[in-house]
Amino acid sequence: MVVTGAGLEGVVAAESEICFIDGEAGILSYRGFDIHTLAEHSTFEEVIYLLWHGRLPNRTELNELKGKLVGNRSLPQPVIEFLRSVPRSPPMDVLRTAVSMLSLHDPLAQDNSAEANARKAGKLMAQTAAIVTTFDRLRTGKEIIPGDPSLSFAANFLYTLTGKRPDDLMERTFDIALTLHADHELNASTFAGRVIAATLSDIYSAVTGAIGALKGPLHGAANEQVIRMLLKADGNVQKAVGMVHDMLERKIKVPGFGHRVYRTEDPRATHLRRFSEEIGRRTGHLDLYLASSEVEKTIKSEKRLNPNVDFYSASTYYSLGIPVDLFTPIFAVSRMAGWTAHILEQYQNNRLIRPRADYTGEPVGRRWIPIEER
Amino acid sequence: MVVTGAGLEGVVAAESEICFIDGEAGILSYRGFDIHTLAEHSTFEEVIYLLWHGRLPNRTELNELKGKLVGNRSLPQPVIEFLRSVPRSPPMDVLRTAVSMLSLHDPLAQDNSAEANARKAGKLMAQTAAIVTTFDRLRTGKEIIPGDPSLSFAANFLYTLTGKRPDDLMERTFDIALTLHADHELNASTFAGRVIAATLSDIYSAVTGAIGALKGPLHGAANEQVIRMLLKADGNVQKAVGMVHDMLERKIKVPGFGHRVYRTEDPRATHLRRFSEEIGRRTGHLDLYLASSEVEKTIKSEKRLNPNVDFYSASTYYSLGIPVDLFTPIFAVSRMAGWTAHILEQYQNNRLIRPRADYTGEPVGRRWIPIEER
């Protein structure tokens, strides 16, 4: 048996053509395209296509994909009724349940052919977004807004969430944020999805498990923890730095810093830092950026840790007017692109993922003790 | 980086005190107790306690656990209404969704303390069983049967499913079947559950993911495939053997044979083979045992593969009067004991489970191509 460190750190669990990370050099690329290239040129729809197909779409292919994302947006009525019935529940629990429920209303749910799975991936991209926006509209007593086919995925999301069409800066910021969160190799949620898919279970089972993993504070929930910290400091620089010093003294992990893979700056943070400033200035939340910036300096000098994807996405999403408890669900909306790409790849060349445990328990062969003698 | 074979075969992913398997010697033990010892002496309730606490319960502790399993059996009304609304849906999809939904009605759902998690594990044991039996009662237009506190977990399950109190042989057979399926180290569903829990996500997220993994035909769904094969042969020995020969010729995997870990007889199959015969004789389904037995001989001589846990559990469950599409959900009811034990263990000494991929895709640094030129 191959004995490794805890948490499978540095252990190769699968071959993949999707995502490359060099944690020492701070390189992240999807299908060979550097994340900086994609952030500069690509739309999220192009990234979805790229992750699924390994190449950029031509105009016809892109329009077809956009049509699918719009066409699949409407939710089965029982899912809407479910969302209506749980207005005070934690959004990640609601999302996990609603996505699981989608399979009950999909005639292709049990069809594990490549064609059916590609179609289901398309539905999941559209419907996960619709679940998040529909849930928020319902819980705030507002009308559900049908998507606008003329809008991009990013603009449509913000529009159906807030009821307002975003301006160009807001749309472009959110679009790039979706791209930056779209995939990250065998992160815990994607890996959970691949473990589930590798039993040849269906794609709904796999992404439902992935959503459950993303919910954890050591994974997707960190962005929500970051903004709660910044808001607790009222976006005040001195207060924020003081809070962080206090956390360091009490050996509490400061959310949004450090990463299992990166030993240098997370290339996604580079972009999100800029957005946090730009969009913060635009919407009157520059204080959150300034506080974030000082917190970053403090953690860098005292702990030598770099901000990860969650740190500046927190203030960026807040400045975009997104409710705090939707930050992690929105992470799920973007990562759905990567989850589905990895699950489709897993099916293509499948092997059951079944490691072993190092047994550290009682010696085997314990004698039975009758209950009276226990 | 540590490069390993596909599917993490033979790779140690965690330390664990719960389950030991020696695949060469055919040894399986829970917390140091050999599975044969447990099959001879233990009840499923004792096994649940053992998996959670590492030792056998005394009379008081056992009674307390039994009280909890009965006390937690009733389902939140919205979960019952959901079960009522999907009578024709695949039971594993329904179970996955219903278990995910339970968290929305549990005030402790977001409390990740050890005490809260222990309580949630108790609820999950009881309510998973209740979901399966309630769903079947509702979809067949029958009254929901409240549990009988005087019955064991096994007898209560059969009673609330069928409306008939099982005789001693049926109860004991089902009880031992639950014990045999209760845990199996880092099988794919348990591993999926630990990957999810290791983000410090909640126990409902982790078991929901595990249910999704168990659904796969390379994992829990195999028992259902076995019985469908036997029924297709009308329990006829010649027909069954002919079908299997045909599958072998067409290189189709015969369900219920071979295992990632065992190189000799799966010790669970030893017991289930006997039950298949005993209970088959009692309930008039000996033909299924006889057909199974010949299929076993055929696969052994032609493929040198041994039956695994799924092969004889299929005819055993069928002879117990359990509907075929509940075989995998019942596997989930038993494995919930192991899932929750592993998830609690993961929380106790947690590290994020985050492996790496071996990148085999396009060279990094692809140049952006404007859409007009694609």
Cβ distance A11 to B29 less than 8 Å, yes or no, reads no
b/e code A92-119 from CB counts within 10 Å (16+ = b): bbbbbbbbbbbbbebebbeebeeebbeb
Whether residue A366 lies inside any domain: the answer is no
List the one residue out of B236, B88, B360, B325 whose CA is nearest residue A105: B88
Q: With 90 as the cut, is the pLDDT of residue A124 above it?
A: yes
Q: Indicate if B161 and B249 belong to the same structural domain.
A: no
Whether residue B151 lies inside any domain: the answer is yes
In chain B, pLDDT over 70 holds for what percent of residues? Answer: 100
The confidence band for A136, taking pLDDT boundaries of 50, 70 and 90, is: very high
What is the CATH classification number for the domain harbouring A312?
1.10.230.10
Interface list for B 43-82 with A (CB within 8 A) = 46, 54, 56-59, 62, 78, 82
The confidence band for A123, taking pLDDT boundaries of 50, 70 and 90, is: very high
Whether residue B22 lies inside any domain: the answer is no
Predicted confidence at residue B3, as pLDDT, reads: 73
* Set of chain B residues whose Cβ sits within 8 Å of the Cβ of A358: 12, 14-16
Mean pLDDT over residues B349-374, rounded?
96
C-beta of residue A134 within 8 angstroms of C-beta of residue A75: yes
- The answer to whether the predicted template modeling score (pTM) of the entire model surpasses 0.90 is yes
Predicted confidence at residue B193, as pLDDT, reads: 98
Cβ distance B199 to A206 less than 8 Å, yes or no, reads no
H or E element: which one contains A16?
A: strand A11-16
Edge-to-edge order in the sheet of strand B19-22 = B19-22, B27-30, B33-34
Q: Indicate if B180 and B230 belong to the same structural domain.
A: no
Q: With 90 as the cut, is the pLDDT of residue A71 above it?
A: no
Q: With 80 as the cut, is the pLDDT of residue A91 above it?
A: yes
Please tell me if residue A6 touches chain B, with a CB cutoff of 8 Å: yes
C-beta of residue A331 within 8 angstroms of C-beta of residue A223: yes
The confidence band for A125, taking pLDDT boundaries of 50, 70 and 90, is: very high
Please tell me which of the candidates A57, A97, A218 has its beta carbon nearest to residue B352.
A218
Predicted confidence at residue B71, as pLDDT, reads: 85
Q: With 90 as the cut, is the pLDDT of residue B362 above it?
A: yes
Q: Indicate if A337 and A306 belong to the same structural domain.
A: no
Q: Indicate if B126 and B263 belong to the same structural domain.
A: no
Active site residue B342: no
**Half-sphere exposure of B22 toward its Cβ, with a 13 Å CA cutoff?**
11
A:B CB pairs within 8 Å = 388
Q: Indicate if B136 and B150 belong to the same structural domain.
A: yes
Predicted confidence at residue A3, as pLDDT, reads: 72
Q: Indicate if B235 and B210 belong to the same structural domain.
A: no
Cβ distance A7 to B364 less than 8 Å, yes or no, reads no
**CA B312 to the chain's CA centroid:** 14
How confident is the model over A138-148, as pLDDT tens digits?
999 999 999 99
Q: Indicate if A271 and A329 belong to the same structural domain.
A: no
Q: Indicate if B174 and B122 belong to the same structural domain.
A: yes
Q: What is the dihedral of CA A59, A62, A63, A65, to 10 degrees?
A: 160
Range scoring the smallest mean pLDDT among B67-76, B115-124, B172-181, B347-356:
B67-76
Whether residue A374 lies inside any domain: the answer is no
List the one residue out of B137, B131, B358, B352 whose CA is nearest residue A222: B352
Cβ distance A6 to B351 less than 8 Å, yes or no, reads yes
Enclosing domain of residue A73: 31-216+325-348
How confident is the model over A223-262, as pLDDT tens digits?
999 999 999 999 899 999 999 999 999 999 999 999 989 9
Cβ distance A32 to B215 less than 8 Å, yes or no, reads no
Active site residue B259: yes
Take residue B95 and report the two structure tokens written for it: 């179970």
Q: Indicate if B180 and B252 belong to the same structural domain.
A: no
Whether residue B212 lies inside any domain: the answer is yes
How confident is the model over A3-56, as pLDDT tens digits?
777 899 989 999 999 999 999 999 999 999 999 999 999 999 999 999 999 999
| Average pLDDT in chain B | 96
Mean pLDDT over residues A294-313, rounded?
95
Please tell me if residue A361 touches chain B, with a CB cutoff of 8 Å: yes
Query: Strand B19-22 and strand B11-16: pairing?
Result: unpaired
Whether residue A3 lies inside any domain: the answer is no
Cα distances (Å, whole numbers) of residue B176 to B100, B137, B160, B182, B370:
28, 24, 18, 10, 64
How confident is the model over B105-164, as pLDDT tens digits?
999 999 999 999 999 999 999 999 999 999 999 999 999 999 999 999 999 999 999 999
Residue B371: strand, helix, or coil: helix
- The set of residues, in sequence order, having a beta carbon less than 8 Å from that of A274 and lying 6+ positions away, is none
The confidence band for B4, taking pLDDT boundaries of 50, 70 and 90, is: confident
The confidence band for A74, taking pLDDT boundaries of 50, 70 and 90, is: very high
Mean pLDDT over residues B7-16, rounded?
93
Whether residue A166 lies inside any domain: the answer is yes
Whether residue A25 lies inside any domain: the answer is no
Q: Indicate if A253 and A202 belong to the same structural domain.
A: no
Q: With 80 as the cut, is the pLDDT of residue A98 above it?
A: yes
Predicted confidence at residue B6, as pLDDT, reads: 82
Q: Indicate if B87 and B235 belong to the same structural domain.
A: no
Q: Which residue of B lies nearest to A356 if distances are taken between CA atoms?
A: B12
Interface list for B 291-310 with A (CB within 8 A) = none
What is the CATH classification number for the domain harbouring B152?
1.10.580.10
* Set of chain B residues whose Cβ sits within 8 Å of the Cβ of A216: 196-201, 205
CA distance A366 to chain B (A): 5
The confidence band for A348, taking pLDDT boundaries of 50, 70 and 90, is: very high
How confident is the model over B196-231, as pLDDT tens digits?
999 999 999 999 999 999 999 999 988 999 999 999
Cβ distance A11 to B355 less than 8 Å, yes or no, reads yes
Q: With 90 as the cut, is the pLDDT of residue B1 above it?
A: no
The confidence band for A297, taking pLDDT boundaries of 50, 70 and 90, is: very high
Q: Indicate if B154 and B38 belong to the same structural domain.
A: yes
Q: With 90 as the cut, is the pLDDT of residue B182 above it?
A: yes
**CA A188 to the chain's CA centroid:** 11
- Distance from C-alpha of A307 to C-alpha of A185, rounded to nearest angstrom: 19
- Total domains in chain A come to 2
Mean pLDDT over residues B304-318, rounded?
95
